């Protein structure tokens, strides 16, 4: 397929706010694509060249793309800059000039040709790489049609923002195959094990839905992490899953560790809940895995938490979070060393453990890690466990965990399997607050903000709008606008995080009442953990629920927008507080 045909589809997608329409457009597009085109096309629709967990970036600032456009179009810089400022969208600015000055060298590149050129740009490094990137981009701008140019320049800047998520793509695959979304559960199950839309769509295009049956864990492809359900008493937990294994719930960074032993060099990669490769951030964990894990290949999970060796105590999240950084890592390792509490085994030496019962997974994990039992010496520890048969014991373990400054406890079903991406009754989170009607915090997406006034003029933000994920309709719906309860440092951090995410128009998958409109919209990226006293019904928030007295607990950089609290979960929390 030609890139110009893809641009036509993108324009239709961009101009609609209907999820069903977008799903049908994608399904129609996928039907027309060949096996060799569909994977690359899906990446381009996301403004990417590789899956999310691979760190391939273009390394091109907007001024570099502008330079390429001016070179290609042969227009004066001031004329271009003035027009771009008026239009407010670099893609539409380039499209405008393409229409004014049609090229004599026009060529209708195929999707794969454009993809290969963009990949060459992204992988070019060293001396002369910026000049090469400018020349490749300029050549494409010069030769493609105006509409294609609108979307081409957005890709290296990461601003495609077409208003649909991976879940809509999964629905579209089902529609492509069967004309409805009935195959979505099967496709989603495979995607949770191999969260690579290019690979998933290519597999389906090649072998149909049966092609997904063969999908198993793959080393260095992160598995979407399983999540826990919530209950607020030991009695409810025993009633739900019977005898269970109870572990402390640590308040740190959840990591998925992939390790391969080799005669040349051992390879370790660490992934966050949001599938980000964070290996470089935690070299002390990497070295600990090489030293203390005694297998050839393994995928396991654990919680990394800061440790104070002087006082032999674990640190609260506010201190542990300082380890999540791109610079000054070695200095912070000395200041805040990490301990990794391993608690889940997913894959070992070529065998998937996803369908294996929890007790066997745990025993096998214990054999894979060399542990002396000395917390001062071991960097990788096994999360302590206790099999519990009585609800009173669960309550006692919870009280003990709280007394030691932990978040609470996790109860695990003894025969439970590991369900990637699912929130089920294999794990139950027991976290309770004594100061409000809500038994847990709510993870929300920051959707936009109002400009600061008065004392907050300096921060640039006066109040920010947050929402939860409506999983069924693949959209974000509002629950609160927060203007108090943040420290000066937190306001500044929010302002800094928001700067690169500001967009001119509200995303299509943000559903917002007119009364909650914001001065500035930001693209979905910032997740915050919110504490509130109560959930109430609301006529002005699109979730139809609102948070009373909401306040920021912390930024959740480890979570993706689609890992926020869902509407279904919010409704459950609303019902629980009534009891």
Which DSSP string do the residues of 6-24 spell out, in sequence order?
HHHHHHHHHT---HHHHHH
pLDDT in tens, 258-314: 999 987 888 999 999 989 999 999 999 999 999 999 999 999 999 999 988 888 888
pLDDT in tens, 323-363: 887 788 888 888 888 999 999 999 999 999 999 999 999 99
Rounded to whole angstroms, the Cα distance separating 480 from 154 reads: 31
Rounded to whole angstroms, the Cα distance separating 20 from 114 reads: 28
Residue 190 neighbours by CB distance under 10 Å: 22
Q: Does the pLDDT of residue 455 top 70, yes or no?
A: no
Mention every residue, 6+ apart, whose C-beta is less than 8 A from residue 399.
none
CA distances from 6 to 9, 83, 108 (A): 5, 26, 11
Query: Residue 354: phi, psi to the nearest 5?
Result: -65, -35
Query: Residue 212: phi, psi to the nearest 5?
Result: -85, -15
Buried b (16+ CB within 10 A) or exposed e, 193-231: bbbbbbbbbbbbbeeebeebeebebbeebbbbbbbbbbb
Q: Does the pLDDT of residue 322 top 80, yes or no?
A: yes
Q: Does the pLDDT of residue 438 top 80, yes or no?
A: no
Q: Does the pLDDT of residue 436 top 60, yes or no?
A: no
Q: Does the pLDDT of residue 93 top 50, yes or no?
A: yes
Of the candidates 467, 439, 224, the residue with the CA atom closest to the CA atom of residue 346: 224
Rounded to whole angstroms, the Cα distance separating 83 from 6 reads: 26
What is the predicted pLDDT for the residue at 371? 79
Residue 514 neighbours by CB distance under 10 Å: 6
Are 386 and 229 in contact by the 8 Å Cβ rule? The answer is no
Strands 502-503 and 510-511, bridge-based pairing? unpaired
Q: Which helix (H) or strand (E) holds 98?
A: helix 90-100
Higher pLDDT, 460 or 117: 117
Q: Which residues are catalytic?
A: 249
Q: Is 64 exposed, middle or buried (CB count within 10 Å of its CB: 0-12, 13-18, 19+)?
A: middle
What is the predicted pLDDT for the residue at 579? 59
Of the candidates 238, 333, 352, the residue with the CA atom closest to the CA atom of residue 281: 333
What is the predicted pLDDT for the residue at 314? 84
Higher pLDDT, 165 or 198: 198
Q: What is the DSSP letter of 436?
A: S
CA distances from 410 to 138, 277, 314, 426 (A): 55, 26, 18, 10
Q: What's the alpha-carbon Rg for the chain, to the nearest Å? A: 25
Q: Does the pLDDT of residue 439 top 70, yes or no?
A: no
**What domains appear along the chain, each with residue ranges and CATH number?**
227-430 (3.30.470.30), 442-576 (2.40.50.140)
Q: Mean pLDDT of all residues in the chain? A: 90
Crossing angle (nearest 10°) for helices 234-241 and 391-403: 130
What is the predicted pLDDT for the residue at 226? 95
Strands 520-522 and 423-430, bridge-based pairing? unpaired
Distance from the Cα of residue 142 to its chain's centroid: 35
What is the predicted pLDDT for the residue at 435? 42
Q: Which helix (H) or strand (E) holds 120?
A: helix 111-123
pLDDT in tens, 192-219: 999 999 999 999 999 999 989 889 999 9
Q: Does the pLDDT of residue 66 top 70, yes or no?
A: yes
Lookup result for tokens 């559903």: 511
Rounded to whole angstroms, the Cα distance separating 322 from 330 reads: 12
What is the predicted pLDDT for the residue at 1? 96
Four-point Cα dihedral 146, 150, 151, 155, nearest 10: 130
Q: Does the pLDDT of residue 163 top 90, yes or no?
A: no
Rounded to whole angstroms, the Cα distance separating 338 from 555 reads: 20
Provide the pLDDT confidence category of residue 434 given band limits of 50, 70 and 90.
very low
Distance from the Cα of residue 71 to its chain's centroid: 36
Higher pLDDT, 95 or 433: 95
What is the predicted pLDDT for the residue at 179? 94
Mention every residue, 6+ apart, whose C-beta is less than 8 A from residue 359.
245, 414, 415
Are 296 and 261 in contact by the 8 Å Cβ rule? The answer is yes
Of the candidates 360, 391, 386, the residue with the CA atom closest to the CA atom of residue 247: 386
Q: Is the dihedral of CA 52, 53, 57, 63 positive or negative?
A: positive
What is the predicted pLDDT for the residue at 33? 97
What does the angle CA 30 – CA 35 – CA 36 come to, to the nearest 5 degrees? Answer: 115
Rounded to whole angstroms, the Cα distance separating 238 from 305 reads: 29
Query: Residue 46: phi, psi to the nearest 5?
Result: -90, 0
Rounded to whole angstroms, the Cα distance separating 401 from 409 reads: 7
Percentage helix, strand, coil, to 5, in the chain?
40, 20, 35
Of the candidates 471, 454, 473, 474, the residue with the CA atom closest to the CA atom of residue 462: 454
Share of the chain above pLDDT 90, in %: 66
């Amino acid at each position: 397929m030609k890139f110009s045909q893809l641009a036509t589809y993108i324009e239709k997608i961009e101009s609609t706010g209907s999820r069903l329409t977008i799903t049908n457009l994608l399904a129609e597009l996928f039907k027309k694509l060949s096996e060799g085109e569909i994977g690359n096309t899906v990446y381009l629709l996301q403004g990417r060249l590789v899956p999310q967990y691979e760190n391939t970036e273009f390394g091109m600032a907007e001024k570099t793309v502008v330079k390429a456009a001016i070179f290609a179009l042969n227009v004066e810089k001031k004329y271009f800059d003035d027009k771009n400022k008026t239009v407010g969208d670099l893609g539409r600015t380039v499209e405008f000039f393409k229409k004014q000055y049609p090229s004599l060298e026009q060529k209708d590149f195929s999707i794969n040709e454009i993809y290969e050129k963009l990949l060459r740009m992204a992988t070019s490094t060293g001396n002369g790489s910026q000049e090469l990137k400018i020349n490749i981009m300029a050549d494409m701008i010069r030769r493609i049609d105006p509409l294609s140019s609108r979307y081409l320049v957005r890709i290296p800047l990461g601003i495609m923002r077409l208003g649909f998520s991976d879940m809509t793509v999964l629905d579209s695959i089902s529609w492509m195959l069967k004309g409805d979304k009935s195959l979505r559960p099967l496709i989603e199950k495979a995607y949770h094990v191999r969260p690579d839309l290019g690979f998933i769509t290519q597999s389906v295009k090649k072998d149909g839905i049966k092609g997904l049956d063969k999908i198993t864990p793959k080393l260095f492809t992160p598995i979407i992490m399983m999540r826990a359900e919530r209950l607020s008493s030991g009695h409810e937990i025993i009633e739900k899953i019977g005898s269970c294994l109870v572990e402390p719930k640590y308040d740190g960074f959840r990591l998925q560790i992939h390790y391969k032993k080799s005669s040349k060099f051992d390879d370790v990669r660490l992934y966050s809940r949001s599938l980000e490769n964070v290996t470089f951030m935690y070299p002390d964990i990497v070295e600990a895995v090489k030293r203390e894990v005694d297998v050839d290949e393994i995928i396991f999970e654990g919680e990394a938490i800061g440790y104070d060796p002087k006082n032999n105590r674990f640190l609260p999240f506010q201190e542990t979070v300082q380890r999540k950084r791109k610079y000054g890592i070695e200095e912070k390792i000395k200041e805040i060393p990490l301990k990794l509490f391993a608690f889940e085994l997913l894959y070992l030496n070529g065998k998937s453990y996803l369908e294996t019962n929890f007790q066997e997974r745990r025993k096998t994990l214990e054999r894979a890690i060399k542990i002396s039992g000395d917390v001062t010496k071991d960097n990788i520890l096994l999360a302590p466990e206790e099999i519990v048969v009585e609800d009173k014991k669960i309550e006692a373990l919870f009280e003990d965990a709280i007394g030691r400054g932990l978040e609470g406890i996790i109860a695990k079903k003894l025969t439970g399997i590991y369900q990637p991406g699912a929130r089920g009754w294999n794990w139950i989170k027991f976290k309770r607050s004594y100061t409000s009607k809500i038994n847990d915090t709510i993870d929300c997406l920051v959707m936009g903000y109002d400009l600061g006034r008065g004392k907050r003029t300096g921060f640039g933000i006066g109040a920010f709008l947050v929402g939860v994920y409506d999983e069924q309709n693949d959209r974000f719906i509002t629950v609160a606008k927060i203007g108090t309860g943040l420290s000066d440092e937190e306001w500044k951090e929010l302002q800094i995080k928001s700067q690169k995410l500001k967009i001119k128009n509200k995303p299509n998958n943000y559903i917002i009442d007119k009364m909650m409109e914001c001065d500035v919209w930001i693209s979905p990226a910032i997740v915050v953990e919110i504490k509130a006293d109560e959930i109430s019904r609301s006529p002005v928030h699109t979730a139809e629920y609102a948070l009373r007295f909401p306040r920021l607990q912390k930024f959740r950089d480890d979570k993706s927008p689609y890992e926020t609290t869902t509407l279904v979960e919010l409704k459950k929390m609303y019902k629980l507080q009534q009891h």
